[in-house]
Structure 1
Amino acid sequence: MTTHDLKAVEKPAVPRDDVLLRATDVTKHYTLRPDGFARHRRVLRAVDGVSLEVRAGETLGVVGESGCGKSTLGRCLVRLTELTGGRVEFDGRDISTLSARRLRPVRPGMQLVFQDPHASLNPRRRAGEIVAEPLLIHRYGNAAAVRRRVAELFDVVGLAAAHLDRYPHEFSGGQRQRIGIARALATAPKLIVADEPVSALDVSIQAQVLNLFADLQDEFALTYVFIAHDLGVVRHVSDRIAVMYLGEIVELAETEALYGAPSHPYTQALLSAVPDLDDGSAPTPARERVVLTGEVPSPADKPTGCPFRTRCPYARERCALERPPLTETAPGRWTACHYPLAAEPLSVLGTPPPATTPPGP
């Protein structure tokens, strides 16, 4: 897939105060069984103090290497995974501790599109039944109304209504993902968390699905949290990007600002690995090749201080002693680094932030 396969979508400016989803110091820890001669249980810090905001109508990209906690964070945001700590507010309501019964009326407004379109669809159910399931759970209407709605959703995502009675194995990978998207749209959500929705698809059809996401956002005023590891893809779908490393956000900025001049050394290294296929010009200084040394530490054995310091080419003594807070280093740009590559800090995101100052990344 090339960038020319993707639509150039002109989006209106998103109001900065129109926050649909707010996460404050969200954590998800798993306790591991002792192994070998260890006497104490270890804690795997899958998500470790994440604060962010998602504004209505925007797409927030979440990127990072495999195992950095992207998918776990996405599940926490829609309460498919229980939080260990922190708070999630959706559409002005704190949903962090709602019981299953109280959460049920909130569920239609936030949906998730899964990574693997084959594993996420029940092979024993027909495609129409799969899309109809959330409508039946939330009592959309009688059988005829549900079937009409499912046929409409098939048309919206580019599938023929004649295929309602087919089973998932009778569809291609791209078509199966369209079924998953139709299922997510069934309850008319405001927010969709897309968990690497194109990574399991052939390159030849990734652009089709990405363009579908863009069309649906325009048509239904959707808000996306778009999780991916391919920075070349996420650049073309996101208004802002959050970069994760070992369960933490290390940089958050407007898309073009982040790509033009990364502030965190980890972001710089990730961007340097993205091939520039648009033209044959020489790379900019921000795109010069940066090779990281060492292995990614285990989230069950995180380094002291800055989690990236064991691989950072700019690490100093302070990096081993102090964990850098997520700090505003330029207007709209937040970086968790003692020695950012960009400007001096403007403010610091506390944990939790003061009530009068929203967590502003």
Structure 2
Amino acid sequence: MTAQDIVAVRPDARPAGDVLLRATDVTKHYTLSRPRRTLRAVDGVSLEVRTGETLGVVGESGCGKSTLGRCLVRLTELTGGTVEFDGQDISTLSARRLRPVRPGMQLVFQDPQASLNPRRRAGDIVAEPLLVHRYGDAGAVRRRVAELFDVAGLAAAHLDRYPHEFSGGQRQRIGIARALATDPKLIVADEPVSALDVSIQAQVLNLFADLQEEFGLTYVFIAHDLGVVRHVSDRIAVMYLGEIVELADTEALFTAPAHPYTQALLSAVPDIDDGTQTASRERIVLTGEVPNPVDKPSGCPFRTRCPYAREICATERPRLTATAPGRLAACHFPLTG
């Protein structure tokens, strides 16, 4: 995916609204047996998402970004910390008390084929959340499903088709239509285009942009493709070993990363001659393997691969603190320039 592939680009300035989603010290640990150990998938993440913005979440495979996305919508139970949605703490709500909150937050999954029931027709899949939340009678539900198909760029004539009769891009549009069914305020998109061909990725990304403009949606956009994230996000959170190591406005992060891990990630992005770049980045090759989240290094989790690590990095865990206006980094020696 390149900048040229994406027709609808992120607006340069989108008004910042009130905080819609706030996560504070969110953790998700899994207990492993034989021997008994703890896997820290998400380890103390704090962030805020404002109404109408897109927060991108990036990082290597296994860094915990998908688990974080599921925690934010309570699809996965938290081990610790709190999540507030629209001013309400939803961290410990029972299933019954969480039910009226569910329509406001939805999730679009990575694999459109795996996320759709192959035994159900597309129209029934999109209708399911409407029936669960008692949208109306059968006629109202049918009309609403036809509207959602149209909004997602699908033909209403295909309501009775099964998922295998659609292309990959069309299946993802069905997933998006299902997510829109309950008029959500927040959509967590978990790598929604990574399983699609490049040309189809552009179409789906344009659809996300159009829907945000039309319905005022708020996105948490999880991806590993930095080129895609740059064009859809207002701010970006960089994750490493279950922690956020940098959080900044998109262009500020790409122009001058503050964390060595972010610097290394950006150096791996191919340069694109679009008439705006002034210099090419030097390729940074990290040495060593990503540490096991079951046995994280002491101090800074990135220190075993960091070219700038010093003694304090092995003994003291850096806090996510402000290094510049609009930028947070978890590093004892943040980069400058």
Q: TM-score, normalised by structure 2?
A: 0.97
Deviation, structure 1 residue 231: 0.4
Check conservation: 2:16, 2:52, Cα contact below 8 A.
no
**CA–CA separation in structure 1 for the residues paired with 2:49 and 2:275:** 36
1:15 equivalent to 2:29? Answer no
State how 1:244-323 maps to structure 2 within 5 Å. 244-279=239-274, 284=279, 287-323=281-317
**CA–CA separation in structure 2 for the residues paired with 1:95 and 1:331:** 30
Residue 129 of structure 2 aligns with an amino acid whose one-letter code is: P
1:45 equivalent to 2:46? Answer no
Task: Judge which range, 235-244 or 272-281, deviates more.
Answer: 272-281
Deviation, structure 1 residue 4: 1.6
Check conservation: 2:16, 2:53, Cα contact below 8 A.
no
Deviation, structure 1 residue 204: 1.7
**CA–CA separation in structure 1 for the residues paired with 2:62 and 2:334:** 24
Query: SS in structure 1 opposite 2:128?
Result: helix
- Report Cα offsets for 1:85-138 as digits up to 9, x if no partner: 000000000000000000000000000000000000000000000000000000
1:147 equivalent to 2:148? Answer no
Query: SS in structure 2 opposite 1:236?
Result: helix
Residue 256 of structure 2 aligns with an amino acid whose one-letter code is: A
Counterpart of 1:326 in structure 2 is 320
**CA–CA separation in structure 2 for the residues paired with 1:265 and 1:283:** 21
Counterpart of 1:357 in structure 2 is none
Aligned length: 336
Counterpart of 1:186 in structure 2 is 181
Counterpart of 1:356 in structure 2 is none
Check conservation: 1:30, 1:46, Cα contact below 8 A.
yes
Q: Cα RMSD between the aligned structures?
A: 1.4
Q: Equivalent of 1:96, from 91, 99, 121?
A: 91
**CA–CA separation in structure 2 for the residues paired with 1:137 and 1:280:** 51
Q: Equivalent of 1:86, from 55, 61, 81?
A: 81
Residue 80 of structure 2 aligns with an amino acid whose one-letter code is: G
Unaligned runs of 5+ in 1: 36-40, 344-361
- Structure 1 residues 282 and 94: alpha-carbon distance in aligned structure 2, compared to 1, 3 A threshold: closer
- Report Cα offsets for 1:220-265 as digits up to 9, x if no partner: 0000000000001100000000000000000000000000000000
Deviation, structure 1 residue 11: 5.5
Residue 302 of structure 2 aligns with an amino acid whose one-letter code is: F
- Report Cα offsets for 1:167-210 as digits up to 9, x if no partner: 00000000000000000000000000000000000112100000
Check conservation: 1:115, 1:196, Cα contact below 8 A.
yes
- Structure 1 residues 308 and 166: alpha-carbon distance in aligned structure 2, compared to 1, 3 A threshold: same
Q: Equivalent of 1:243, from 229, 235, 238?
A: 238
Counterpart of 1:5 in structure 2 is 5
Unaligned runs of 5+ in 2: none
1:112 equivalent to 2:113? Answer no
Check conservation: 1:329, 1:342, Cα contact below 8 A.
no
Counterpart of 2:27 in structure 1 is 27
Deviation, structure 1 residue 283: 6.7
Identity of aligned residues (%): 85
**CA–CA separation in structure 1 for the residues paired with 2:302 and 2:279:** 24
State how 1:184-223 maps to structure 2 within 5 Å. 184-223=179-218
- Report Cα offsets for 1:270-300 as digits up to 9, x if no partner: 0000001234898737x21111000001111
Deviation, structure 1 residue 308: 0.2
**CA–CA separation in structure 1 for the residues paired with 2:239 and 2:187:** 19
Query: SS in structure 2 opposite 1:51?
Result: strand
Q: Equivalent of 1:337, from 324, 331, 334?
A: 331
Residue 5 of structure 2 aligns with an amino acid whose one-letter code is: D
**CA–CA separation in structure 1 for the residues paired with 2:278 and 2:237:** 23
**CA–CA separation in structure 1 for the residues paired with 2:40 and 2:15:** 33
Query: SS in structure 2 opposite 1:158?
Result: coil
